[in-house]
Amino acid sequence: MNLIPYAGNQYGLKFPVLCDGYVSVDYSDNIASEARGIWDHEGSFTVEMLFVPYDVNGYGSNSQAAAVYDRPINGDFGHQTSQKTMPSREKNISTTTLDEGYMPTTNRLSHQMCLFSSTNFKLYLINSTTTNVNQPAEYYFEAKLTTGSTTSTIRTPVLFKSRNTHSMNASAPTEFNYINNQVHLMDSGFNATYPSSAASPTTSKMDIIDSNNGRAQIGTKLYKSDGTVMGTITAATYTSGRALLTLDSNVSSLNGEDIYIEAPREITYPLSPHHVGVSYHKASNSINIFYNGAKVSTLKHTDTNTFSFGNADITLGQDRTSSSKRYSQFMGELHEVAVIRGSKNSINTTTTLLPQYNDTLLYVDFEEADIWVYTQ
């Protein structure tokens, strides 16, 4: 067989931020009188997906003193024109805004993006971050498998991460701190000393002169020029041009020293598709999760009842069985989805899905001009 190479854009079904959408493989449309195909299947299976996740956090700001800090780091609302990262209202703005009405920041930090949902098997991508101030979303996978009345939950480590080191020539602007010609830290724009009221050099409070209003954010981690972590800002009291910061740990003596913060964090995961595979092996009762070909998690299911997907709709991009459907909304791109009979022990192809026809229970291809769906 001759293989024909192609070049060009890779199509996919986009779920932009702030969306409300899903793909449904309807049970009633495919079943006349009795279960067939994927709904009739029992036992071992493998689910594979090619997808691109977007950033649910957005570029947040938490100055808590808009009257003094008239230049929040996110320009009041973060990125407002991107389909791949959420807008993010500055915390001091009390006006109701679209992004907070759609999903408050608190909910974004634990958001569960549903990739695949059936009655007895669900696959999520879950945000693991605790703040969105200079912190894009970082995700891990979670799969839930149910037999009888027992549900097993398997999670992976955080696999979709942000980075704060950037390759750059060390002769670039001096506001950055370099390690091995990589931007590591960024000048916070303020000098620090102990306040005159400090009782000892072990206090967790320090007085700063802030020349870059808005960089002293609650939740910001502070560093010395040598990269030593000083602590994280937990509270701040502001007067004109100055701030008294409280950290979560004590700091050593300071006298007009430059203080650094992390360089702006960036993410690369929205730039190209990722592969995830989840397999269930009936004989060993084990569940495995694969990411880009590597096995990253395994779990023993404790119930011995036979698995089936359940006689109900299968959805991609949202868990329609959840009472808070918006908080399961997938934001990103779906490229291919396949469900096959049998449990894979390894994943050999991660750039496209190649399900064997006789083993295929469900296959959806979003990369063609005309979407093609196959159910057996």
What residue ranges do the domains of the chain occupy?
13-163+268-375, 166-263
Residues 6+ apart with CB under 8 A from 301: 145, 147, 150, 152, 280, 285, 286, 287
Which of 96, 17, 21, 93 minimizes the C-alpha distance to 57? 17
- Token pair recorded at residue 54: 């977007």
Q: What pLDDT is recorded for position 124?
A: 98
> Does the structure show a pLDDT above 90 at 359?
yes
- Token pair recorded at residue 131: 């703040």
**Rounded to an integer, what distance in angstroms lies between the CA atom of residue 309 and that of residue 376?**
14
166-263: CATH topology is: Thrombin, subunit H (2.40.10)
| More confident: 114 or 58 | 114
Contact 309, 120 (CB under 8 A): yes
- Tokens 């199509």 — which residue? 11
**DSSP 8-state assignment for residue 216:** S
Instruction: Please report, for residues 172, 208, 340, the alpha-carbon distance to residue 147 in angstroms, rounded to integers and kept in the order given.
Output: 58, 58, 19
13-163+268-375: CATH topology is: Jelly Rolls (2.60.120)
**Rounded to an integer, what distance in angstroms lies between the CA atom of residue 198 and that of residue 61?**
29
The residues that bridge with 127 in the sheet, in sequence order, are 139
244: enclosing H helix or E strand: strand 242-247
> What's the pLDDT tens digit per position in 36-55?
889 999 999 999 999 999 99
Mean pLDDT of 294-310: 96
**Lowest mean pLDDT, pick from 108-112, 216-220, 246-250, 318-322:** 216-220
What is residue 291's three-state secondary structure?
Answer: strand
| More confident: 200 or 335 | 335
DSSP string, 39-95: GT-BS-EEEEEEEEE-BSS-SB---S-TTT--S-TTTTT--SS-SSB-----TT--S
> Does the structure show a pLDDT above 70 at 338?
yes
**Rounded to an integer, what distance in angstroms lies between the CA atom of residue 328 and that of residue 349?**
28
Residue 339 phi, psi dihedral angles, 5° rounding: -125, 125
What is the average pLDDT value for the chain, to the nearest integer?
A: 81
> What's the pLDDT tens digit per position in 64-93?
544 444 445 555 666 777 889 888 877 666
Residues 6+ apart with CB under 8 A from 32: none
